[in-house]
């Protein structure tokens, strides 16, 4: 467990997503995916953590952790249950939830698209049709008009690369497509839509006279890809380019790079984020396999590294490496929008948190402008294809009775959030308890 100190003003928080915790919504694509039996453990997002009915209770959990900020997502299917029809009830619910955060001195950080979409949007063809992006942009406009007086900080899309890979290339997530060419079209549509949403959010808050500096970005899943053999190293560069670089250059600089189709887009020089959002979990070794269905590569783990419950490498140094890489390239503030570990028994999470934050502190000491860290996640939740069988929470959630229980790592994280450092004395205190 590494000691560290973070600068004054550094913000510590937690992150959650609507489908993963709220429960009760039957109008989104993940509800349909669950109904069709795709979830590995047979669980269902209709249950999740029942957060929709437990907002007050879960806000108390955040207070107990001493967080400065909390990243949450809105469920588009709740806010716009039918095309062009917006729900006053849903937006008032979210308004109340955000006001609770503010009342407790927790800065809200709102994500507009976190992997799920209304069923009607999917039935229209989703992102494969250029004309459909207008629905998302209308939703963005409505939400910012209704909540922009409370929220200054926004994420347009969470992990567009993961969404595209699993939803449109390998067909493992909704909408369940398997087409590389179609996925490239979706890449372009998401990039174009992010740029327009960026302008809408800034414009609405400015025209409405809402107070506070507007900050807009996207949260990108960033991995370290490395190769051992010459072929593996070449493949690692290709995977990095296709999985990460296309979106980074597109959403940050507005560039539609090869092999993405232009879809009528004209490049306008500019910067379309106010921060770089990085979701960092692990690294992979890339190897060649003769399999067109896997795009001729496989992702392996390092036998020498410790693993989480899902078999992912634990590689704290990687968070330093990706922050250094992208800060040196873009010279924009960095938010760690997600970082966490599946660890049911909570044996590895304390060290995971400490060692990753130590690498964040190291990066900051070298002049890299990292301003925030959001731990994934507040409590065990519905973890997409893994269902209820992946345990990322600082709190254990008993899905049968919905009792939340703080794990020891939650106590450690609460100490760090309060002190903005980890000292030898704090380590000893944690180990005694």
C-alpha span between 377 and 103 (Å, rounded): 22
Residues ≥6 apart with Cβ < 8 Å to 280 = 222, 223, 318, 319, 322, 336, 338, 339, 356
Q: Confirm whether 159 is a catalytic residue.
A: yes
Q: Which of 159, 189, 338, 388 is catalytic?
A: 159
Point out the residues that are catalytic: 159
């Amino acid at each position: 467990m590494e000691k560290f100190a973070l600068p004054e003003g550094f913000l510590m928080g937690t992150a959650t997503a609507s489908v993963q915790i709220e429960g009760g919504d039957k109008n989104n694509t993940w509800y349909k995916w669950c109904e069709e039996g795709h979830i590995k453990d047979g669980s269902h997002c209709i249950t999740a953590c029942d957060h929709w009915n437990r907002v007050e209770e879960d806000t108390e959990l955040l207070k107990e952790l001493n967080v400065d900020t909390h990243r949450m997502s809105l469920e588009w299917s709740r806010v716009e249950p039918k095309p062009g029809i917006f729900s006053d009830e849903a937006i008032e619910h979210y308004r109340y939830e955000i006001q609770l955060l503010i009342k407790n001195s927790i800065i809200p950080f709102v994500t507009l698209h976190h992997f799920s979409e209304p069923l009607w949007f999917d039935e229209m063809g989703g992102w494969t049709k250029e004309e459909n992006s207008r629905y998302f942009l209308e939703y963005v406009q409505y939400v910012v008009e209704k909540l922009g007086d409370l929220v200054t900080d926004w994420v347009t899309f969470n992990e567009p690369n993961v969404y595209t890979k699993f939803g449109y290339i390998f067909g493992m997530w909704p909408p369940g497509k398997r087409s590389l060419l179609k996925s490239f079209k979706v890449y372009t549509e998401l990039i174009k839509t992010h740029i327009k949403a960026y302008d809408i959010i800034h414009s609405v808050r400015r025209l409405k006279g809402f107070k506070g500096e507007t900050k807009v970005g996207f949260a990108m899943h960033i991995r370290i890809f490395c190769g051992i053999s010459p072929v593996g190293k070449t493949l690692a560069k290709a995977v990095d380019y296709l999985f990460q670089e296309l979106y980074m250059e597109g959403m940050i600089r507005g560039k539609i790079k090869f092999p993405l189709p232009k879809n009528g887009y004209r490049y306008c020089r500019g910067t379309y984020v106010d921060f770089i959002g990085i979701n960092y979990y692990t690294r992979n070794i890339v190897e060649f396999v003769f399999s067109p269905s896997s795009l001729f590569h496989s992702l392996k783990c390092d036998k020498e590294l410790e693993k989480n419950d899902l078999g992912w490498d634990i590689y704290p140094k990687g968070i330093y490496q990706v922050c250094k890489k992208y800060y040196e390239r873009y010279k924009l503030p960095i938010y760690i929008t997600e970082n966490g570990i599946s660890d049911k028994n909570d044996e590895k999470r304390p060290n995971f948190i400490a060692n990753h934050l130590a690498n964040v502190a190291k990066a900051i000491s070298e002049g890299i402008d990292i301003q925030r860290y959001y731990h994934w996640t507040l409590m065990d939740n519905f973890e997409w294809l893994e269902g209820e069988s992946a345990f990322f929470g600082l709190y254990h959630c008993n899905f049968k009775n919905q009792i939340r229980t703080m794990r020891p790592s939650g106590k450690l994280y609460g100490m760090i959030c309060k002190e903005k450092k980890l000292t030898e004395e704090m380590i000893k205190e944690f180990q005694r308890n």
